Amino acid sequence: MIAQIRGVVAALGVTWVVVDVHGLGLRVSVPPATSATLRVGEEARLHTCLLVRDDDLSLYGFATAQERECFELCRSANGVGPKLALAIVGVLSPGKLAAAVRSEDLATLCTVPGVGRKSAQKLVIELKDKMNHLAFEPAASPSQATVGQWREQILEGLESLGWTTKDAEAACQAVAPLAEQTPSPTVPVLMKAALASLARL
């Protein structure tokens, strides 16, 4: 298993990054908040999970080992594929996910696109015992990054997680006052605020 990679960011999208590791370009799927902390030409260090299928090798990367562990735990649940597991990690922090599962907070789990009440109940049943053996500490603050075209990044990130364009635009409108503050917040901070606004819909 490829557990970690470090190299220079060669190309970057909202949900993927190409990391140049000594001349080898590795394309890695990442949550939008992780992508927002990276910059082309700068060094990146990602905790990774390699999924091997008959006709495909897919690499998933995360800012912290806790996020990777949550991704792997979610994938262990019946009916949860890598796309949905990535969405769960993209919406809920490790601590928030663990708290929701342990307290059987279905409403919080249902804030993830693609997770309905029945699938949230299945997540609780299948992950509760596993979560009880884990202690997720608060994640370290992400590195500072210029906001730049924050609206486009937030829109693409939310749509990639499964929200409709209408909902994503409403979330961007909700966080616009925050984005205009001085000093400007980072894109991960705006993404977190946008996710919080969607959770209240």
Q: Pick from 51, 73, 72: which is nearest to 123 by CA?
A: 73
Considering the chain, what is the average pLDDT of its residues?
84
The pLDDT of residue 145: 38
Q: State the DSSP string of 81-96.
A: -HHHHHHHHHHS-HHH
State the first-to-last Cα distance of the chain, in angstroms, to the nearest integer.
40
Residues 87 and 33: beta-carbon distance below 8 Å: no
70's CB contacts (< 8 A; 6+ apart) are: 88, 89, 92, 94, 97, 98, 136
SS3 of the chain: helix, strand, coil, percent, to 5 = 45, 20, 35
The pLDDT of residue 140: 43
- The answer to whether 4-62 and 65-132 have equal CATH topology is no
Residue 201 pLDDT class (50, 70, 90 cuts): low
Name beta bridge partners: 18. Answer: 11, 27
Q: Hey, what amino acid is at 127?
A: L
- Domain assignments of the chain as residue spans, ordered by start: 4-62, 65-132, 150-199
7-52 confidence digits (pLDDT tens): 999 998 888 999 999 999 999 999 888 888 889 999 999 999 999 9
Q: According to DSSP H, which parts of 139-186 are helical?
A: 150-160, 165-179
39-86 confidence digits (pLDDT tens): 999 999 999 999 998 888 899 999 999 999 999 999 999 889 999 999
Least confident residue range of 28-42, 72-86, 91-105, 130-144: 130-144
Whole-structure pTM value: 0.71
The DSSP symbol for 1 reads: -
The DSSP symbol for 114 reads: T
Fold of 65-132: DNA polymerase; domain 1 (1.10.150)
4-62, superfamily in CATH?
A: Nucleic acid-binding proteins (2.40.50.140)
CATH 1.10.8 fits 150-199, yes or no: yes
Q: Which residues in 13-52 are b (16+ Cβ under 10 Å) and which e?
A: ebbbbbbbeeeeebebbbbbbbbbbbeeeeebebbbbeee
Residues 49 and 76: beta-carbon distance below 8 Å: no
The pLDDT of residue 182: 62
Task: Return left, alpha or beta for 46; rule: phi > 0 is left, psi -120 to 50 is alpha, else beta.
Answer: beta
